[in-house]
Structure 1
Amino acid sequence: MKERLLIKCDTTIYADEITNLLIENNIVSRQHDEGQDQNPGAYGAITGIAIYVFEKDYEKAVEIINPIVDSRNESHVWCPKCGSYNVSAIAVSNKYGTAIALWCIFLFLIPGLYLVWANDLGIRSTIADYIALSMFISFFIVAFLGKISNANYICKDCNKRFHHK
C-alpha cells in the first residue's frame, strides 16, 4: 500500500503524541526521524520526525490530529525562518517612529515641491537640483533601510526577529 506524509514534528514528544492518537483510532502509522538519516539535507533545511500513514487512512488521520495541531499552533510561537520553538519575547521599541516618519515626509515633500514650483518661483539652479536629488535619495534610504522594527520575538537558534500576534 502507498504511504503519505501526514505531518512533520519537531520533537519526539510531539511525534509520540500524534502517533499515540493515531493508534487509539486504529490507524497504522510509521515514524521516520530525518535527523538520523545518512543523507543530511535530503529532506530540506528543517528536519524533524515525519509521520506517514497509508493513503486510505490519510483523510481520517488529518481529521483526528487537527485539534492537536491547531492548539499547538495557537499556543506556541515558532520561528517562521527555521521553524524552531526556541524563541523569546522582546520589547517593542517604537521610540523614534514618529520622528522617522516626519523626517521621511520632509525628505519627500521638499524636493517634490521644489521640482514643481522651482521654475515659477525663479529659484531653479544646478546646486538646488543636486540638493533636491540628494534629499530624495535620502528619503529612500531612511524609509526602506531605516525601517522601524515591529518585531516582538527573536529566534534563539537563527537570530531572526519577527512579529507574532
Structure 2
Amino acid sequence: MVGAGIIALGLMDVFRALMHPRSEAALSKVVFSALWAVSRRFGHRLGSIVGPAGMVVTVLVWVLLQAVGWALVYLPHVPDGFDYSSGIDPGRHPVAAEALYVSLVTLATLGFGDVVATEPLIRFLAPVEALTGFALLTASLTWFMQIYPPLSRRSALALRLHGLAEADFAAAVRDLPRTPSRG
C-alpha cells in the first residue's frame, strides 16, 4: 500500500505540473524553491542554470518516486515471484536492492531479461510500470519543450536589461532634451 501511495503521489505531481492550468505541483514547487534558495545563498551566481536544473531535478524526483514506489510493490514478491537467468543468484543481493533493480529496469523499459516476473499479479503489474515509465519520459520531454522557450526568452530579456543597466541607459534617456508636447 505504501508503494502504491508513493506511485500515486508521483503521478499526481506529474499530472498537476503538466496538466493543471496554474501548474500546482507541490513536489515541483519544493524543488524549485530549494534551488532558488541555494541560488540566493550564492548571490545568484548560478544565473540562468537554476531554471533548467530545477526541471531536471524535478524529473529525477518523479523517476525516483516511481522507482521506489514500484520497488515497494515488488518487495514482498522478491525473489520467489521472479525467475532469474542462470548465473544470477538472487540471494547474493539484499532483497530491497533486487526489488529496486527490477523496478528501475522495468520503469526504464529496458527489459534485460535476466529477471522475469512469474507471479500472475507481478506479470500484470510489470507492463503497467513500463507504461508508466514511458508516459513519464514522454511527459518530461513535453514539459521541457513547453517550458524551455519561455525560459530562453526570459533569459535573453534579463541579459538585455542587464546590458542596458551596465551602459547606464536610464540616465542617458533621462538626460535627453525634452520637447514640448503639443496638446
**Normalising to structure 1: TM-score of the pair?**
0.26
**Greater strand percent: which structure?**
1
Over alpha carbons, which structure has the higher Rg?
1
Higher-helix-fraction structure: 2
Scaled by the length of structure 2, the TM-score of the pair is 0.24
